[in-house]
Structures are given as structure tokens and as C-alpha cells.
């Protein structure tokens, strides 16, 4: 053991030298250990300072065609004699068969059956329950799976002299034979209508209110990692046709749905180049800059989203080891800044047409046509963002 400039170094000698042993760079039988420093890279390397990350991608358009045949049957629905709008017992059976072709994955056949039954708990209590189950299977010729989604719903009607209330509570889960447990959902909805007299002329005023609550337990989403993004254009079209019949004790419908979807990569996006900045050289987000950060529970935002996905910087971790010493260290920054994804843009055009005809006790035809065009983009929040004026990273 010796020290040079306060740094311990290890120089050892092994007297048992073999006939086939070769000399090291410090001599035969001698070994020198100056120690080592290793780095674990998280996200982008910390010392990236504008290095371009180049992505070359060439994808043929992804096109899917499909036809879905469906049928639904309701037998002997019973109604409440005191209130004809309330159903106190029914049995429903629905089935669907889908035939799909995709130019990437080939042919696929999917089928599902959805039986459900509902009944009042007691003829004297304003409480009813329904149980529904959806069983679906998918097969693309090589892999098949089965999904089961049972759901139970309780409904309670409260009727008083000047108050009508209704509460729905449901519990459901989804299980897949290949992916396992996929989600548990608990939801509750309560609506109330009250009628009160406003003056002695016996005029009445009706007021109503609605309150709902739902909770969903889902498996965690994947975390975000900085990478080049590519702009795609999506086009889709759907046709729906439905034929229904109503007769004594029988309410049945048959439906057919045809759809087409196409996704293609923009020609200008087949080759992309984005400058990347690591933890040591962070700067303001730009239209194309890749920054060294991660985001937990990354996913799409919905109206029911409770929390935004938290973002955090991904510094590298360094480990040092040597004779008589070892340790771990990391870089630090003392600024407060903000981070964002590079700008990306997606275009989507969708159209649908529907034709409906019902016969039996009454005839009711219907036609529906719609076209929707959407352009969405994502990037740094710069407009009406007061924080943008006070939070900046200073380039090292």
C-alpha cells in the first residue's frame, strides 16, 4: 500500500508464479490496483450538452378492417305495477362476433357473450340488484386469451311525500387469462328531486340534484423516458346498422358494424434529430430539446384524473472504490426550473354513418352521419404561465 498525492494505491506481489503466467504491465507476479469510478446512467447521460439523438424510422401504413355482428335479446321484462317506469325483473343476453384484418398482424377473431339478470330484492322493499358478466375471447391464430368482467349493481329508490331519490352503486372488475388482474371499479350515484309549495295558491316548484362518486384501481402506468417523438396521421371510418323487433315478452335487436382505421407516419418524420441536454447542462425547454427527466405514472389525462404525473430530474449515480476507500456520490443543482417534452403534433380524421330501424308494436327509423377532424399537440406550457418568468435553469 502506498499513497501518491494523498490517494491510496495498492501494489501487490504474488510469489507463486506459474509457468504459463504472463507479466502484467507492472512486472511478473505484480498487480496494481489504483481503484475505479463507475457511473450508472439514468435517463440521458449527465454530460450531454446538445448532442443530437438521431432516429431513423420507416413504417408502412398500419391499416385495419373489421366487421362486428351482434345480437341482444330481452325476455319477459317485468314492471312495477305502482310505477310502470320501473323494471323489477328482466333477463338480457347479448353476443358479439368480430372479424378483423390488420396488415401487420393478419386475421383476428373476437367473440363475447354478456348475460345479465336483474330483480327486485323484495316486493316490499324499494331495492333491486343486477348482475352482469362479459366474457370475451381473442384469437389471432397463434395466441388466444379470455377476458371476464363481472359487475354487480344495487339500486335503491326512496319515495316520500315531497321527495324522490335514487341511488345506484356498482362494483366491477376485469380479469384476463394472459394479463391477469386489470382493474377494479367502484362507483356510486345519487339523484334526488324535491317538490315544495311556494305560496298558498298551491303552486309547486320542483328542484333536483345529482351527486356521483367513483373510484378505480388500475395497474400502474409505465414511466416516461426522454426519446424522439414522431408525428402520425390517423384516419378512421365506422358504419353502424341496427334492426330491432318488439313483441309480447320479447325485445330483440341485431346489429352490424363495419370499421376501417389507418395510421401512417408523416414523410418528414421518418428521420428526426433532437438535441439532448443532461442533468449538468439543463436549460429552458425548446421545441425539439430532450431533457434529462422522468415522469411517474405517465398516461393520458382524463376529466376524472386526480393528480398529474410527477416529474423529476434523473441525475447519474457514481460509485468509487479503491484500496481502503469506497463511496457513492451524485451531482446537485441549486436552481428551480421546469421541464417538458419536445413539441409533437398528431392529426386525426374520423367519420361515421349509422342506419337504424325498429319494428313491431311501433316503427322507428333513424339515420346518423358525422365527421370529426382533430389536431392535437403537446409541448411546454408557455402561454399564461406566470411560473415561466421565474423558473429557469442556468446552463453549466
- pLDDT tens digits, 251-281: 788 889 999 999 888 777 788 888 889 998 8
- pLDDT tens digits, 36-82: 889 998 888 999 998 888 888 888 889 999 999 988 887 765 555 55
Q: What is the pLDDT of residue 356?
A: 82
> CA–CA separation, 163 vs 382, rounded Å?
50
Q: Which domain holds residue 333?
A: 37-57+230-396
Same domain, 68 and 197: yes
Output 262 or 26, whichever has higher pLDDT: 262
- DSSP 8-state code for residue 386: G
Same domain, 220 and 234: no
Same domain, 247 and 222: no
Q: What is the pLDDT of residue 202?
A: 39
3-state secondary structure of 18: coil
Decide if pLDDT at 218 tops 70: no
Q: What is the pLDDT of residue 144?
A: 60
Average pLDDT over residues 9-14: 78
Quote the percentage of the chain above a pLDDT of 70: 74
DSSP β-bridge partners for residue 127: 156
Decide if pLDDT at 199 tops 50: no
Q: What is the pLDDT of residue 203?
A: 39
Query: Which three cell numbers, joined as nine digits, stand for 392?
Result: 429557469
DSSP string, 68-117: EEEEEEEEEEEE-SS-TT-EEEEEEEEEEEEEEEETTTEEEEEEEEEEEE
Residue 299: how many other CB atoms lie within 10 Å: 13
Q: What is the pLDDT of residue 258?
A: 92
- pLDDT tens digits, 110-125: 888 877 777 665 445 5
Decide if pLDDT at 237 tops 80: yes
How many structural domains compose the chain?
Answer: 3
In terms of Cα–Cα distance, which of 111, 112, 93, 118 is closest to 170?
118
Output 214 or 70, whichever has higher pLDDT: 70
Same domain, 349 and 215: no
Output 347 or 202, whichever has higher pLDDT: 347
Q: What is the pLDDT of residue 147?
A: 78
Q: Poorest-confidence range of 87-91, 102-106, 368-372?
A: 87-91
Where helices occur in the chain by DSSP H, the ranges are: none
Decide if pLDDT at 140 tops 60: no
> CA–CA separation, 92 vs 132, rounded Å?
9
Residue 144: how many other CB atoms lie within 10 Å: 13
> CA–CA separation, 76 vs 89, rounded Å?
8
Same domain, 92 and 239: no
Same domain, 119 and 204: yes
Same domain, 22 and 43: no
Q: What is the pLDDT of residue 204?
A: 38
Decide if pLDDT at 200 tops 70: no
> CA–CA separation, 61 vs 145, rounded Å?
27
> CA–CA separation, 244 vs 364, rounded Å?
9
Grade residue 193 by pLDDT with cuts at 50, 70 and 90. Answer: low
Same domain, 28 and 120: no
**What is the length of the chain?**
396
CA dihedral 9, 13, 19, 21 (to 10 degrees): -10
Same domain, 211 and 279: no
> CA–CA separation, 319 vs 341, rounded Å?
30
Q: What is the pLDDT of residue 32?
A: 79
With 0-12 CB in 10 A as exposed, 13-18 as middle and 19+ as buried, what is 226?
buried
Distance from the Cα of residue 368 to its chain's centroid: 29
> CA–CA separation, 145 vs 174, rounded Å?
13
Same domain, 185 and 124: yes
Grade residue 21 by pLDDT with cuts at 50, 70 and 90. Answer: confident
- pLDDT tens digits, 321-369: 877 778 899 999 888 888 888 887 778 888 888 888 776 666 677 788 8
Same domain, 149 and 259: no
What does pLDDT average to over the chain?
76
3-state secondary structure of 267: helix
Q: What is the pLDDT of residue 260?
A: 92
Rounded alpha-carbon distances, angstroms, from residue 91 to 78, 84, 122, 244, 256: 10, 18, 17, 17, 23
Same domain, 206 and 163: yes
Distant-in-sequence, close-in-space partners of 19: CB < 8 Å, separation ≥ 6: none
Q: What is the pLDDT of residue 302?
A: 72
Output 375 or 143, whichever has higher pLDDT: 375
Amino acid at each position: 500500500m502506498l499513497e501518491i498525492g494523498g490517494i491510496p494505491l495498492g501494489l501487490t506481489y504474488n510469489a507463486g508464479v506459474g509457468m504459463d503466467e504472463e507479466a502484467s504491465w507492472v512486472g511478473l507476479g505484480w498487480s496494481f490496483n489504483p481503484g475505479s469510478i463507475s457511473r450508472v446512467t439514468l435517463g440521458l447521460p449527465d454530460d450531454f450538452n446538445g448532442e443530437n439523438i438521431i432516429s431513423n424510422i420507416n413504417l408502412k401504413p398500419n391499416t385495419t378492417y373489421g366487421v362486428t355482428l351482434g345480437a341482444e335479446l330481452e325476455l319477459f321484462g317485468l314492471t312495477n305495477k305502482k310505477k310502470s317506469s320501473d323494471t323489477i325483473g328482466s333477463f338480457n343476453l347479448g353476443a358479439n362476433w368480430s372479424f378483423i384484418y390488420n396488415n401487420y398482424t393478419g386475421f383476428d377473431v373476437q367473440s363475447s357473450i354478456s348475460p345479465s339478470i336483474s330483480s327486485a330484492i323484495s316486493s316490499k322493499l324499494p331495492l333491486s340488484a343486477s348482475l352482469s358478466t362479459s366474457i370475451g375471447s381473442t384469437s389471432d391464430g397463434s395466441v388466444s386469451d379470455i377476458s371476464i368482467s363481472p359487475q354487480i349493481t344495487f339500486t335503491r329508490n326512496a319515495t316520500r311525500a315531497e321527495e324522490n331519490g335514487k341511488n345506484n352503486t356498482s362494483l366491477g372488475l376485469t380479469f384476463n387469462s394472459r394479463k391477469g388482474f386489470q382493474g377494479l371499479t367502484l362507483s356510486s350515484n345519487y339523484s334526488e328531486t324535491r317538490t315544495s309549495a311556494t305560496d298558498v295558491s298551491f303552486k309547486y316548484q320542483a328542484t333536483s340534484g345529482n351527486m356521483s362518486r367513483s373510484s378505480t384501481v388500475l395497474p400502474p402506468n409505465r414511466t416516461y423516458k426522454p426519446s424522439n417523438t414522431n408525428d402520425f396521421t390517423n384516419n378512421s371510418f365506422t358504419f353502424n346498422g341496427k334492426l330491432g323487433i318488439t313483441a309480447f315478452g320479447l325485445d330483440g335487436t341485431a346489429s352490424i358494424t363495419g370499421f376501417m382505421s389507418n395510421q401512417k407516419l408523416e414523410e418528414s418524420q421518418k428521420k428526426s434529430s433532437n438535441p439532448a441536454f443532461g442533468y449538468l447542462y439543463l436549460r429552458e425547454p425548446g421545441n425539439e430539446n430532450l431533457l434529462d427527466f422522468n415522469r411517474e405514472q405517465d398516461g393520458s389525462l382524463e376529466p376524472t384524473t386526480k393528480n398529474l404525473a410527477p416529474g423529476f430530474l434523473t441525475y447519474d449515480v457514481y460509485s468509487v472504490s479503491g484500496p481502503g476507500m469506497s463511496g457513492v456520490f451524485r451531482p446537485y443543482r441549486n436552481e428551480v426550473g421546469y421541464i417538458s417534452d419536445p413539441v409533437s403534433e398528431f392529426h386525426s380524421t374520423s367519420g361515421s354513418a349509422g342506419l337504424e330501424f325498429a319494428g313491431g308494436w311501433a316503427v322507428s327509423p333513424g339515420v346518423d352521419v358525422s365527421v370529426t377532424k382533430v389536431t392535437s399537440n403537446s409541448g411546454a406550457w408557455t402561454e399564461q404561465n406566470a411560473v415561466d418568468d421565474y423558473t429557469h435553469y442556468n446552463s453549466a
